[in-house]
Amino acid sequence: MLKYFLGGFLMKNKKININGKNEDLKEIKTLIIITLIIVVIAIGLYFLTEVALKKKNAPAPLPEPSINYSLTMIGEVFDQPYDEYYVFIYSSKDKNAGQYSTLISNHNKKESPVKLFYADLNSGFNRFAISETANPKPTKASEVAVKDVALMIIKGGKVTKYYETIEDFEKVLN
């Protein structure tokens, strides 16, 4: 009886162990599958956000750099390689600056305009030319003095005409 009892007990334990191993294997498989699914979802979300952020934060293409040969410093006013040219001196912070820019643009759109250079009095290099009284006949850059705004016509390296009113600018540049 003891043998029968022990045999039955051992058999029951074997079944329990076999069933226990099967259940443990099933639980391990389920745990591994769930872990893999979570890892795949996490990696998918990571790449999805990377793609979305790259599209959203992609920098706009930069414009082609160009050199503005018309913008000059007052110190170079008399050093231009042309026989005749205009020099327009004004402050980009002036209340009429937009109107001056339009005049310059319209002049440059002409079929064969006289070369026009312009200088901004707000530039640190040009501030020396700001004065209470204008000098309409400068012979060198250090003598240039502008009260608010000026248009100089230079021929042969000399100032031949000097204008200070918008009406004169319109007549000359249009």
Q: What is the pLDDT of residue 152?
A: 94
pLDDT in tens, 148-171: 899 999 998 899 999 998 898 888
| Residues 81, 10 share a domain | no
Residue that finishes a domain, picked among 64, 92, 107: 64
Q: For residue 71, with 0-12 CB atoms within 10 Å meaning exposed, 13-18 middle and 19 or more buried, which class applies?
A: exposed
On whether the CB atoms of residues 151 and 145 are closer than 8 A, the answer is no
69 assigned to some structural domain: no
Q: Give the count of beta carbons closer than 10 Å to the beta carbon of residue 85.
A: 17
Q: What is the pLDDT of residue 79?
A: 87
| Residues 156, 100 share a domain | yes
pLDDT in tens, 135-154: 999 998 889 999 889 999 99
| Residues 87, 59 share a domain | no
Listed in sequence order, the residues at least 6 apart from 150 whose beta carbon sits closer than 8 Å to its beta carbon are 88, 89, 90, 134, 162, 163, 164
| Residues 83, 51 share a domain | no
| Residues 121, 45 share a domain | no
The residues of the chain scoring below 70 in pLDDT are 1-21, 55-58
Residue that finishes a domain, picked among 21, 46, 64: 64
The boundaries of the domain holding residue 134 are: 74-173
Q: What is the pLDDT of residue 15?
A: 46
> Which amino acid is located at 42 in the chain?
A
Q: Give the count of beta carbons closer than 10 Å to the beta carbon of residue 18.
A: 10
Q: What is the pLDDT of residue 113?
A: 85
| Residues 80, 159 share a domain | yes
Torsion angle, CA of 158/125/109/167, rounded to 10 degrees? -70
